[in-house]
Amino acid sequence: MNRLDNVHAPSPGCDAATPSQPIWTPAGMTIDELISSSDEQLASFDIAETHLRCAQGLPFAEGLDIPRCLQVLDDCAEIVEKETDALAYLFDETPEEFGHSRAVFCCAILSSILQEHFNIEFDFDIDFDEVDIDLFFLDSRNNFFHGILNGEHASCVPISVLYISVGRRLGYPLKLVRTEEHCFARWEDDNERFNVECSMEGFATPDDAYYREWPKKLTPQEADRLCHLRSMTPRQELAQFLYHRAHCLTRTVQVVDGVKYLLWNHDLAPDDPCFVADIDHLFELWEKQLELQTPHCFPRVDVIWPTNRRLPESVPLETERKFLRLSIWHTLLQEPRWQNAGIIASSSTVDQGPILVRCT
C-alpha cells in the first residue's frame, strides 16, 4: 500500500513535549531564494519542506506533491503525540529503562511509531565501497524522503530528516548530524544532549565515540577537521540537501546546475572541507568527460571574464573562472554543429578559428 494513503485520523495530543513555535514554510520559494534567505528565515522554515524543495525536478521526483507529503508528516506527528501520551505510564513506572530521561522516552516512542506504524526501514544493503555510486545518486529517492512515503527503503539522510521533521512538529529539539558516510539525529537543548540512530532497527542512542568507529574509523582530529559530529545549523542543513541535489544533477545532462549548487555551499558552509574537496573532484571528472566529447576540429575558446562576480565572494575567483570555463565548454558542445563534428571533420581539414566568448 502507498503510505501516502496509509495515514489514520489522529486523536488529540499530549503534553509529552513543550509545544513548538509555529513552523513557517518556504512555500513557493525557488531554491535560489532559499539559498539567499537569512539565518533567521532558514531557522523558521520547516526542514521537511526545505528538504523536499531541494528534490524538485530531480529524477524519480517527477510530480512530487510537497503539500501532500507535509500533510502526512503532520498526521504522523499527531499519532506520535497520542501514543506518547498513552504510553507515558511506561516512563513513570520504569524511568531507569530510559536513563531517567523523558526526552529519551519521547524519542523511543517516536522511533517505534515511525518504524512499526509506517513500516520505515533502512536499506541495510547499501555498501558505498561496492554500490554503483552514479546510480545511487541519480535516484533522488535514495537521498530525499519522498521515497519513504511511497514505500521505498531509506538511506540514512532521508530517514534522519524524517525523524527530525516529525520530532520538531512536537517541539523536540532535534538536529541533523553527519559523520563519515552517515547521518543521524541528535536531541540537543540546554538540559540534554544525546544521539538518536535513525537507521537501526529498534531504538539506540550511541555516543559520539561510536560514530568515530562506524561506519568509518575516524580519529577525533579527523572528525573535527571534517566538521563531523557537529549539530548542523539550518544553513548547514540546506548545504547538505544541496549537496545531494548537486550530486544527482551531475549524473544527468544538468551537470552545470549541479556544480553550481555545490559552489553555493562555499557560502552556506564555508568552513566545511568536504564540500570543497567534492568540488575539486567534480571539476576533474567534468573536464575529463568534456575532453572525451570534444572533436579534434573543435576550435580554441577565448573567454573575456566578467567584471562582476557570478558566485558568492566566498568562492575563490580561480574556482569561479574554472566553473565558467567548463560551463562554456559544456554549452558549446551541445550545439548541433559539434554533435557529429568528430565524424565529418578533423583538425587537418577544417580550420574553424577561435571562438570568443564574452561573459557579461
Q: Which residue bears the cell 566578467?
A: 306
Per residue in 93-126, pLDDT (tens digit) is: 999 999 999 999 999 999 999 988 767 766 655 5
Range in 63-77, 255-269, 270-284 with the lowest mean pLDDT? 270-284
168 has a pLDDT exceeding 70: yes
Alpha helix stretches (DSSP H) within the chain: 31-35, 39-44, 47-53, 66-86, 88-93, 102-112, 133-138, 146-149, 156-169, 208-211, 220-225, 234-249, 255-268, 273-293, 317-333, 336-339, 341-344
- The answer to whether 163 touches 196, Cβ cutoff 8 Å, is yes
42 has a pLDDT exceeding 80: yes
Query: So where are the chain's domains?
Result: 3-225, 253-358
- pLDDT bracket for residue 270 (50, 70, 90): confident
Helix axes 66-86, 102-112, angle to 10 degrees: 130
Total-model pTM:
0.84
- Average of per-residue pLDDT across 44-48: 94
Cell of 116: 512499526
Question: Who's near 59: CB < 8 A, 6+ residues apart?
Answer: 138, 139, 140, 248, 252
Q: What pLDDT does 28 receive?
A: 66
Q: What pLDDT does 24 receive?
A: 45
Question: Could you give the CA distance from residue 155 to residue 124 in angstroms, rounded to a whole number?
Answer: 8
